[in-house]
């Protein structure tokens, strides 16, 4: 029973993996990284050139569409309309982001909405197939777990977990097995498994995390010199190691990278001890993290009404304006790249309705 269910589960996993590979090779023409770099390029590509790049790589992934909508230098409304129509029908949250950004005139927005009732594209069909295959895989997984539960050979919970991970032929099981080995202190087994994963779609930061934890022998407080690597992993929210890195930094009490909380004066007693000397007036209107920065940076913008219509202006030490980022309805953390910037001191200021609301300095290192 277990053998036949394991085979069926592996076949469902392989079918899902194959469809995902087809999807990833179809959207963005399999060149998502290159398209994202074109969107984030500094100096920014002219609107018409970026429009041509995006149309040439259609259908676009939701991540690319979102990045296009929230681009630091907005696309010309007509060019953005063309991109959205070429990738219709849009997923609901992409269309919601387009409405929240409020970048299209009423007529252009109406054109995009009209396009939602058009023919279903290949991207949408693949997404429907992926959902169906995921449901099939989950049903088989439930039946496989039931088979293991009734099998007297597999009496321990760990047995079923390892068997389940080994039955996943898409590579994700091996990744999870590696992390489980590291977290359980089985560093030799994890190191042996890592050698077989170099050619799989495995997050390289997870290897680095496992290596660091192995050096620390499970005790982060006994490891020094790893803070910078952990910060880099923590701020890469697209990586699976981000949450693990944040956990390690908290364990080591390395919290300087965490933005200062914005709390009302009446709740001042809730602030950590190192912040309690500051009054409400001392709390910065805008913050920067990490500072100094290497490749990416996050500006912390307060959650007050009206702020979301403001603009972030960044100047170098010579007073030259480096970039302008329109908030376009966003508040909280605004991420941006500084990879192409020269090392040195920079000033960022928040401008709303022509008035400078606040400013702060930060440093870029190389």
- Residue 82 lies inside a defined structural domain of this protein: yes
* Single pTM value for the model: 0.42
Q: Supply the mean pLDDT for the chain.
A: 76
- Interatomic CA distance for residues 164 and 287, integer angstroms: 45
- Residue 213 lies inside a defined structural domain of this protein: no
Percentage of the chain modeled with pLDDT above 90: 4
- Residue 342 lies inside a defined structural domain of this protein: yes
User: In the prediction, which pLDDT does 156 show?
Assistant: 54
User: In the prediction, which pLDDT does 263 show?
Assistant: 47
Report whether pLDDT(131) > 60: yes
pLDDT digits (tens, 9 = 90+) for 7-60: 887 788 878 878 877 877 888 888 888 999 999 988 888 988 998 899 888 888
Last residue of a domain, one of 97, 124, 154: 154
Last residue of a domain, one of 154, 175, 209: 154
Is residue 1 very low, low, confident or very high in pLDDT (cuts 50, 70, 90)?
low
User: In the prediction, which pLDDT does 38 show?
Assistant: 92
User: In the prediction, which pLDDT does 272 show?
Assistant: 43
Q: What are phi and psi of 336, to 5 degrees?
A: -155, 160
Query: Domain tally for the chain?
Result: 2
Most confident among 111-120, 123-132, 345-354 (mean pLDDT):
345-354
- Interatomic CA distance for residues 55 and 202, integer angstroms: 30
pLDDT digits (tens, 9 = 90+) for 157-188: 555 666 666 666 555 667 777 777 777 777 77
Burial zone of 54 (CB within 10 Å; 0-12 exposed, 13-18 middle, 19+ buried):
buried
Range of the domain at 43: 1-154
Is residue 276 very low, low, confident or very high in pLDDT (cuts 50, 70, 90)?
very low
- Residue 22 lies inside a defined structural domain of this protein: yes
Last residue of a domain, one of 154, 175, 192: 154
């Amino acid at each position: 029973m277990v053998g036949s269910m394991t085979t069926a589960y592996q076949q469902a996993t392989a079918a899902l993996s194959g469809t995902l590979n087809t999807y990833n090779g179809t959207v963005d023409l399999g060149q998502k990284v290159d398209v994202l770099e074109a969107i984030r390029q500094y100096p920014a590509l002219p609107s018409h050139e970026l429009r041509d790049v995006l149309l040439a790589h259609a259908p676009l992934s939701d991540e690319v569409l979102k990045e296009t909508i929230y681009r630091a230098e907005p696309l010309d409304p007509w060019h953005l309309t063309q991109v959205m129509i070429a990738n219709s029908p849009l997923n609901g949250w992409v269309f919601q982001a387009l409405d929240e950004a409020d970048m299209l005139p009423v007529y252009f927005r109406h054109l995009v909405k009209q396009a939602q009732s058009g023919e279903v594209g290949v991207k949408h069909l693949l997404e429907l197939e992926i959902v169906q295959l995921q449901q099939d895989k989950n049903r088989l997984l439930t039946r496989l777990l039931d088979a293991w539960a009734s099998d007297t050979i597999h009496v321990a919970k760990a047995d079923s977990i390892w068997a389940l991970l080994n039955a996943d032929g898409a590579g994700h099981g091996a990744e999870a097995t590696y992390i489980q080995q590291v977290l359980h202190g089985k560093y030799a087994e994890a190191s042996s498994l890592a050698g077989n994963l170099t050619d799989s779609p495995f997050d390289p930061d997870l290897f680095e995390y496992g290596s660091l934890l192995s050096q620390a022998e499970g005790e982060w407080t006994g490891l020094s010199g790893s803070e910078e690597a952990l910060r880099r992993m923590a701020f890469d929210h697209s990586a699976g190691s981000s949450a693990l890195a944040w956990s390690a930094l908290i364990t080591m009490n390395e919290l300087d990278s965490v933005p200062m909380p914005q709390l009302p004066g009446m709740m001042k007693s809730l602030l950590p001890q190192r912040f309690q000397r500051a009054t409400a007036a001392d709390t910065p209107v805008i913050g920067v993290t990490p500072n100094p920065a290497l490749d990416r940076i996050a500006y912390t913008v307060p959650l007050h009404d009206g702020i979301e219509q403001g603009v972030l202006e960044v100047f170098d030490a010579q007073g030259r304006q480096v970039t302008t980022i329109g908030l376009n309805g966003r508040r909280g953390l605004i991420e941006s790249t500084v990879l192409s910037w020269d090392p040195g001191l920079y000033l960022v200021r928040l401008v709303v309705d022509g008035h400078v609301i606040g400013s702060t300095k930060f440093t870029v290192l190389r």
